[in-house]
A and B are shown apart, each in its own frame.
Chain A
Amino acid sequence: MTAAKFVVNEVKGYHGFVKFLILLVVIAALASMVRFVFGLGATTNMNDTYPWGLWISFDVVTAVPLAAGAFTLGAIVHCFHIKKLEPLVRPAIVTGFLGYSLVCVGLLLDLGQPQRGWHVMRYWNLHSPMFEVSMCVMAYTTVLFLEFLSPVAERFGWNLSLRVLRWLEMPLVILAAAISTLHQSSLGTFFLIAVDKLHSLWYNPLLPLLFWVSAICSGMCIIIIEATSCHKWMGQPNEGVLLRTLAKILPWTLGLYIALRAYSLLALSVGPFFDRPVLTLLFVVELVIGFILPFFMFTQKSVREDDRRRVIAASLVVFGLVLNRFNVSMFGMMNPDQIYYPSIVESLVTIGIIAGHILFFVLIAKYFPIFEHHPETVDYTIPGRIRKSDNGAEPVSEQS
C-alpha cells in the first residue's frame, strides 16, 4: 500500500465531524489564496478607515489570550508546585502550540508583505509594541514547540531527547511565563497609541496590565472547557477533581481583574463614558456577564464541584474575554457613520483557523500520548546500547 493510499484510508476512518473540520480548513486555504490573487481591498471589508479587521481582532488579539492556558498552567504546576494538576499540562501545551502557530498563519495572511516577515528580526524598533509582540510570539512559539516535542519523543521512543527536554522543562516553563507576560500585555499597549480613537470605556493607561490578567483568567477557563469537552466527546477520563482545584484559583484572578478594571475606569479614564448606547450595552454585557457573573459563580463551592456549572462559568469568562478584545480592537474604535463588518473571505478564513485548531488538536491527541501522560510511568533512562559500551566502561551520557 502506498503512503497516499494509507492516508486516504486513514482519513476515511475519521468521524464525520473531523471530516467536516477538514472541509472547513480546505475552504479557508482556498479563501486565503483568493486574498493574494485579488488583493486585500477586493476580498476583505478593510479600508483606510478600518485598516484592521476581523483577522487582527480575532486571529491575533483574541487568539493569543485564548492560548494563554499553557504558560498559566505551566507556572501553576511547576513554579507554584501544585503537582497534581500535571495531567492537564500537556493538552494545554498542545493547545498553546497550535494557537500560536495559527496566530502566525493569521498574521501572515493579514500582512501586506508576508514574505518580509523576517524584517522584524533585522530592523529592530524597540519603541514599537508590534515589534515586541512579534519577537515574543516567535520566541514563544519556539518554546511551545520544544515543550510539545516531549510527547513526540515519547511516541517514537527517543529517550535521549526526552531526557534533554525534561532537563529543560523548568527553564522553559519560566521562560514561557516571562515571554507571555510581555506579549500578552503588549497587545494592550497596541491600543494605547489610539488616544483619540478608542472609546473612553476601554481606553486607559492600565490596558496592558488588564490584558495580561484577563489572559491568565481565560487561559485557565479554556483548560476547564477543553478538559470537559475531551471527557465528553473524546472518551478521556474525567478530570473533574483537578478542574476543581483550578476553579479555586479563578475567583482570585477574576476578582483582581474586576478590581483593576473598576480602578482604571474610575480613577484613570477621562470621559465621556455613556455617550453611545451601543457601546454602553457592549461594555455592560462584557463586564457583567463575562467577568462579574462568573466571578460570583466560581466563589460558590457548588459551582466549582459541578462539572456542568463549572464549564458554564468558564465559558462565560471566555465569552467576556472575546467580547473585551473585540470591544477594544474593533467596536470601540468604530465611528458611528461608517460601520465595518467582515467580508465572506475574512469570515471563511477565521472559521477555518478555528476549525483547524480543533482538527489538529483531535489528530494530535489521536496519534500522540497527550492525555495518557503520567510522568511517573515514563521511562527516562538511557537505553543500554547508548549507556554502556561493550566492555562496560563509563556511561557515555554522563561525560556531557
Chain B
Amino acid sequence: MSKVNTSKNNAFLIDMTKCTGCRGCQVACKQWNQLAAEKTEFFSGEGYQNPPAMSEYTFTRIKFRDYQKNGQNEFAFYKEMCMHCNDPACASVCPVGAFKKTAEGPVIYKADRCIGCRFCMIACPFGVPKYEWSKGLPLVKKCTGCYSRVLEGMKPACATACPTAITYGRRDEMIKLAEERLAKHPNKYIHKVYGKEEAGGTSVIYLTSLPFNELGFKPVTLRPLPDYTWQALRMVPAAFLAVGGGLSALSWITHRRDRLKHEKAAEQVDNPAEEKED
C-alpha cells in the first residue's frame, strides 16, 4: 500500500515535556472542523481530562496524568489524535477505499464513499476512527490532519494554536529535530521517538519524559498493519485457481472412471458369458 514517498510528507512533532495542558489545540480543532460541543463533567473519564474520550465531536484531546516528582504533584500530558500512519490500517481494510494517505502527510477520509461497516475502527491500532452513533445513517469521523489548510500552505489548526509543544514540517526534518533534542537533553526525555517506527512509521511523532505506556500510548507493532492481512490476501488468486482447477480435474477423473465403468457394464450385458467370469 505504501505508494507515497513518506520522507517528503509533513509530520507533527509533539514534545509532551513542553505541553502546558492549555488545550488550545482542542478548541482550535473544534473551531476549524465546526464540531459540536460535548456536555461533560469533571472526572467522568480516567482522570482530569475532558471530554472523557475522543468521539465523533472530538478529534483531539489532551490526556492528563498525575504523578509525583520530588514529593510534589505534577501533571504529564499526552495529545491524542489521528497518527496519520505512513501505511494506514484503515485505508487497507476499507472495502470501498474511503481512506487515503496523501502525499502531503494527512490520512484523509472520503465520506461520500463510506458504507459504514466500521472495519476501520477494528483495524486502527490507535483507536482513532469514531462513529456517529446518534444517527440513523451514520458515518465515520476522525482528525483530517487539516488537509485543506495544508494544501493552502498553512499549518494544521492545533499546530497553529499550540504555544509551546507542536512543531509541524517535513517528516524527515521532524525526526532529525526530535533526535537532536534527545541527544541534547538525555536526562529530560525517555530515549525514544514514538511514531518513528510504530505501525510502520507515523506522521505524528512524540517525545515524552514519562514512560509511554504510563501516559496512555498504546503498545503497537512496528510492522505496517496492512502487511498482516496482505500476507493472506495475496494468496487469494492462487487459492481460487487451486480449488477451482483441482476440483475440475478431480471431477473429470471421477466422471471418466464412472463412464468407463458404465461402458464396461453395458458390454457385459451384451455378453452375458463374460459377466459370469467376474
Contacts from A to B (Cβ < 8 Å): 35-42, 46-49, 51-52, 75, 78-81, 110-117, 119-120, 122-132, 134, 170, 173-175, 177-179, 181-182, 185-186, 188-190, 192-197, 205, 207-208, 333
Residues in B whose Cβ lies below 8 Å from that of A128: 92-95, 97, 119
CB atoms of B121 and A79 under 8 A apart? no
Number of interface residues of B (CB under 8 A): 60
Looking at B221, B226, B248, B257, the one whose CB has the most chain A CB atoms below 10 A away is B248
Contact between B236 and A182, CB atoms less than 8 A apart:
yes
Supplied contacts A127-B93, A130-B119, A193-B225, 9 more A-B pairs, CB within 8 Å: A39-B136, A123-B96, A127-B92, A178-B240, A186-B233, A188-B232, A193-B92, A195-B125, A195-B225
Interface residues in B83-97 by Cβ distance below 8 A to A read 89, 92-97
CA distance A395 to B247 in the complex (A): 34
> Is B5 in contact with chain A by the CB < 8 A criterion?
no
B133 neighbours in A (Cβ, 8 Å): 39-42, 46-48
Q: Can you list 19 residue pairs at the A/B interface with Cβ under 8 Å?
A: A36-B137, A39-B136, A41-B133, A41-B138, A42-B133, A52-B122, A75-B247, A79-B250, A111-B116, A120-B96, A132-B233, A177-B247, A189-B229, A190-B119, A192-B228, A192-B231, A195-B125, A195-B228, A197-B125
Q: Which of A37, A119, A189, A192 contacts B136 (CB 8 A)?
A: A37
Contact at B97–A51, with CB atoms within 8 Å?
A: no
B255 is an interface residue with CB less than 8 A from chain A:
yes
B4 at interface, CB cutoff 8 A: no
Contacts from B to A (Cβ < 8 Å) = 1, 53-55, 89, 92-98, 113-119, 121-123, 125, 127, 130-140, 218-221, 225-226, 228-233, 236, 239-240, 243-244, 247-248, 250-251, 254-255, 257-258
Residues A189 and B232 in contact in the complex (CB < 8 Å), given A39-B133, A128-B119, A195-B225: yes
Partner of B94 from A122, A130, A174, A177 at Cβ < 8 Å: A130
CB-contact partner of B236 in A35, A111, A132, A195, under 8 A:
A132
Q: Which of B98, B114, B233 contacts A127 (CB 8 A)?
A: B233
- Chain A residues near B127 (CB-CB < 8 A): 48-49
Q: In the bound complex, do residue B232 and residue A205 qualify as a contact, i.e. CB atoms below 8 Å apart? A: yes
